[in-house]
Amino acid sequence: DDGGLVGDVDFDAVATVAGALTPVPGGVGPVTTALLLRHTARAANLP
């Protein structure tokens, strides 16, 4: 480890303990954003 920037996760270090990894692009970002917007709308009592 040279202390450099590796992104969100060091895949090699967590591969044996993580249940799943989603690379970016193509990760879960759009799903997370959509669900946060849905929950916000529900909290504001919007249809």
pLDDT digits (tens, 9 = 90+) for 11-32: 888 888 888 777 666 667 888 8
**3-state class (DSSP) for residue 19:** coil
pTM value > 0.75: no
Q: How far apart are CA 40 and CA 7, in angstroms?
A: 29
Q: Which residue has the higher pLDDT, 17 or 4?
A: 17
Tell me, what's the pLDDT at 47? 60
Q: Which residue has the higher pLDDT, 47 or 25?
A: 25
Q: How far apart are CA 30 and CA 36, in angstroms?
A: 10
